[in-house]
Amino acid sequence: MTAAGRTVVVTGAGSGIGRDIALSFAAEGCTVIINDVRLDAAEQVGGEIEASGGTAVAHGGDVADEASIQSLSRLARRQSAPVDVLVNNAGLADSLTPTIEQELGDWQRVVDVCLRGTYLCSRQFAKDFFLPQARGRIVNIASIAGVVGLPMRNAYSASKAAIVMMTRTMAAEWAGRGITVNAVAPGYIRTPMLDALVAAGRLDEAVLRRRIPAGHLGEPHNISAAVLFLSSDAAGYINGVSLPVDGGWCAYGAAGDAFALDGA
């Protein structure tokens, strides 16, 4: 779907959705620059890509740290081809504590990784690659939590809602310069982040499934498919949108369950 030979940067690609996005671009013949806060996780995914004949470069660094994003851009500059696509995927779950009990530092860290990280990466790669080459694609990973209010997710929901709006503001600013900026808003997707919340008793999978019209959680490849489409030539005139990929979760507004589980 995405032309072979392109160079793609994916943040937070050492796990879950980001890992699947990186593997999917590699399967299309793209060179993938894999960022993760844990270098070993980035290297592991890079190793998987190299083992299947692809090309990958690993970068360890925190997306909330400007110096680290500058080093990611310098690493990309050292590759032989320009960067074509940036996927701002790195994110952190909220502490899921009642508002009046949440530590301000926990709130700030979620905002820094989700929102500041998306801002810093977009700004850096637009300045260093997309604006000078008058071409580029940015795909941000938002969330259904940025579309509707979910209790005890102030930092996460506010950050994701801000990403939806920043997607529009950057698209509006750069559309005339050959750049598209779009977002994908995942619903509940089976990843280590979600598994950890279920294991800790913070989320109940059966309750989630009853609220999803499709009746099941999404898989990382559902998100990768949307990201690859928004990065493709076919999506060249789509700009500033946030596409829910959620099994119908955002569409459902009736009272009661959206899906009847067997035996429920």
- DSSP-based three-state secondary structure for 181: strand
Which span sits near ligand NAP by CB under 6 A: 171-179, 188-196, 204-212, 252-260? 188-196
Order of strands, edge to edge, in the sheet holding 31-36?
A: 55-60, 31-36, 7-10, 85-88, 136-141, 179-186, 242-245
Element (H, E) at 27: helix 16-27
Annotate each residue in 48-87 with x if it binds ligand NAP (CB under 6 A) or - if it does not, as one string: --------------xxx-----------------------
Instruction: Identify whether 156 is a catalytic site residue.
Output: yes
Which C-beta is closer to ligand NAP: that of 96 or that of 263? 96
113: contact with ligand NAP by CB under 6 A: yes
**Among 10, 58, 85, 92, interactor with ligand NAP by CB under 6 A:** 92
Which span sits near ligand NAP by CB under 6 A: 23-31, 94-102, 170-178, 186-194? 186-194
Which span sits near ligand NAP by CB under 6 A: 31-39, 123-131, 203-211, 255-263? 31-39
Q: How far is the CB of 75 from ligand NAP (least distance, A)?
A: 14
23: contact with ligand NAP by CB under 6 A: no
Match 């619903």 to its residue by tokens: 187
64-100: string of b/e by CB count within 10 Å (b at 16+)? beeebbeebbebbeeeeebbbbbbbbbbbbbbbeeee
Residue pair 46/30 in contact by the 8 Å Cβ criterion: no
Binding to ligand NAP in span 212-251, by CB under 6 A: none
Helix and strand numbers, DSSP H then E, in the chain? 10, 7
Terminal Cα distance for the chain, rounded: 40
Residue pair 63/90 in contact by the 8 Å Cβ criterion: yes
Which C-beta is closer to ligand NAP: that of 64 or that of 235? 64
115: contact with ligand NAP by CB under 6 A: no
8: contact with ligand NAP by CB under 6 A: no
Q: How far is the CB of 258 from ligand NAP (least distance, A)?
A: 17
Q: Find the angle CA(152)-CA(158)-CA(159) to the nearest 5 degrees.
A: 115
188: contact with ligand NAP by CB under 6 A: yes
Query: Mind telling me the catalytic residues?
Result: 156
Task: Name the site residues for ligand NAP (rule: CB under 6 A).
Answer: 11-12, 14-18, 35-38, 41, 62-64, 89-92, 113, 117, 141, 143, 186, 188-189, 191-194
